[in-house]
Amino acid sequence: MSGENTVLKENVFVNEKEKRTGVHNNVNSKKNKKEIKILAKNITRTFTVKNRGEKGVKEFTAIKDINLEIREGEFITIVGPSGCGKSTFLDILSGLSKPTSGELYIDGKLVTGPALDRGIVLQGYALFPWRNVRKNIEYGLELKKVPKKERKEISQEFIDLVGLNGFEDRYIHELSGGMRQRVAIARSLAYNPSVLLMDEPFAAVDAQTRETMQEELLRIWEKTNKTIIFITHSIDEAIFLADRVVVLSANPGMVKEIIDIDLPRPRKLGDVKNSPDFNWLSHKVWELLHNVEGNEKTKVINENRDIAEEISPTVDL
């Protein structure tokens, strides 16, 4: 899908939403004025794989023609079917992998490899078990040869930010899953990257911890103003966190649609998830992931019925 078509689809969605609600998205209008932080142009990644049960090899296309503009300070979530190339795209953003074709720019500079302007948070934490919390957080600062006194001051700042006061000297095996992920986030933020890449960071924690971590992440994002690209399989998580949700198609992964999330901020999960707009957006993303063509009832809400009735016809029962 071309960048032009992506923008067209996004605008169509916004116009439908404005007709439905009568409210224009002023928050996102302000974000539109911010500079482009990340620019992906026709990103394609192919792999050479063996033919199953046959001789020779073949080309496997993981993602194809990804065109995406991400503004400075924006929170983007990416959803798509399993195997559609979400993590492949994140690897390219991090510089750990190169596209087969296409170009990726951050702050107008071509990405050719990893750099300290990007932090990465993974599902598996990737923490050092022989280091305590403080020493894990200071690892990137050590690589940058930051003096010891300054390292301690910076690590304490981020220990405070992620709510780990009193746990500075604990080792990783002494922490819960949620606390380990807080350490991973603090470590990624401590050396002050402008972009934070997150690959399903809350997938390994229980549901209650996951909801707490989502609200904590938004609080941290609002304080630090980082540009965040967040991969998830959860529709609810994608909508709750994001300024925009990028929906990828099944293999090969292509941008199917980009949806503006104009829910007001700051957000509290209990309030947001009970709102009609959240339910409407959730249904919209679900339709896209399941290749359901929305009829007129889901595209433009009937004037005589509210949003909840359109999404759930059983609401009258």
> What's 288's domain CATH number?
3.40.50.300
User: What is the arrangement of strands in the sheet containing 101-106, beginning at the earlier edge strand?
Assistant: 57-71, 36-50, 101-106, 109-110
Residues 39 and 158 in one domain: no
Residues 162 and 264 in one domain: no
Q: What is the pLDDT of residue 254?
A: 96
Residues 160 and 201 in one domain: no
Residues 98 and 207 in one domain: yes
**Is residue 13, in this structure, part of any structural domain at all?**
no
Domain of residue 179, residue span: 124-192
Which residues neighbour 119 within 8 Å (Cβ) at sequence distance 6 or greater?
A: 188, 189, 191, 193, 195, 196, 197
Residues 46 and 138 in one domain: no
Structural domain tally of the chain? 2
Can you give the pTM of this predicted structure? 0.79
pLDDT of residue 18 exceeding 50, the answer is: no
Residues 105 and 230 in one domain: yes
pLDDT of residue 158 exceeding 80, the answer is: yes
Residues 110 and 205 in one domain: yes
Residues 203-214: what's their mean pLDDT?
Answer: 87
Q: What is the pLDDT of residue 205?
A: 82
